[in-house]
Amino acid sequence: MNLTALLPTTTRGVALRPNILFGRLQREVETLFDDFTRSVGPNGQALIGLVPSMDVLETDKNIEITAELPGLERSDLEIAIDDGLLTIRGEKKAETESKDKNYHLTERAYGVFYRAIPLPQGVDESAIQATMTKGLLRITISKPAHPEPKKIEVKDAA
């Protein structure tokens, strides 16, 4: 049997090509797997809802990182830098459960999250500043200074 006989046809009776027919399905499956792999931690634990959304932007003098961390306090976070890798680690703890409550829906996620951001070489690690206000973590990193080009005078040999 001919494959085109099994494919849907247009109003003019022309068979649709398989790549047109299945291209969207393939993209959706790839997106599903990408989302799944981003939502699983190193121990196989689910991270859905725990990975903070971040913005990383660059100005003339700084690299600025903003992360959304609703429901977390400063004491729930650990920020470190090692060998040019900035890590943000935190834990969102579950509220104390009461035995007399019957949950009908639970969408909030709890547990440990971890994000790592590679930084450019030459960053002054002692100048990194982090502040947190209303669930927004802001990290400011001074960019390394690029030395000005230096002219070298050519002298006559002695």
pLDDT digits (tens, 9 = 90+) for 92-109: 877 766 677 777 776 677
- Residue 12 has φ and ψ, to the nearest 5°, of -95, 5
| pLDDT band with cut points at 50, 70 and 90 for residue 123 | confident
Residue 87 sits in the same domain as residue 114: yes
Residue 118 sits in the same domain as residue 41: no
Query: pTM here?
Result: 0.59
Answer whether residue 155 is part of any domain: no
Residue 90 sits in the same domain as residue 71: yes
Answer whether residue 116 is part of any domain: yes
Q: What is the mean pLDDT of residues 47-65?
A: 82
Residue 39 sits in the same domain as residue 55: no
Strands 85-92 and 129-133: unpaired
Sign for the pseudo-dihedral over CA of 8, 11, 16, 21: negative
> What confidence score (pLDDT) does residue 46 get?
52
> What confidence score (pLDDT) does residue 92 get?
83
Contact indicator for 147, 126 with CB cutoff of 8 Å = no
Q: State pLDDT tens for residues 82-91.
A: 888 899 999 8
Residue 87 sits in the same domain as residue 131: yes
Answer whether residue 27 is part of any domain: yes
Residue 33 sits in the same domain as residue 83: no
Residue 41 sits in the same domain as residue 67: no
Q: What is the mean pLDDT of residues 39-59?
A: 69
Parent domain of 119: 49-94+108-142
What spatial distance separates the first Cα and last Cα of the chain, rounded to whole Å? Answer: 91
| pLDDT band with cut points at 50, 70 and 90 for residue 39 | low
Answer whether residue 22 is part of any domain: yes
User: Two tokens at 40?
Assistant: 């699983």
On average, the pLDDT of the chain sits at: 77
Which CATH number belongs to the domain containing residue 125 in this structure? 2.60.40.790
Q: How many residues does the chain have?
A: 158
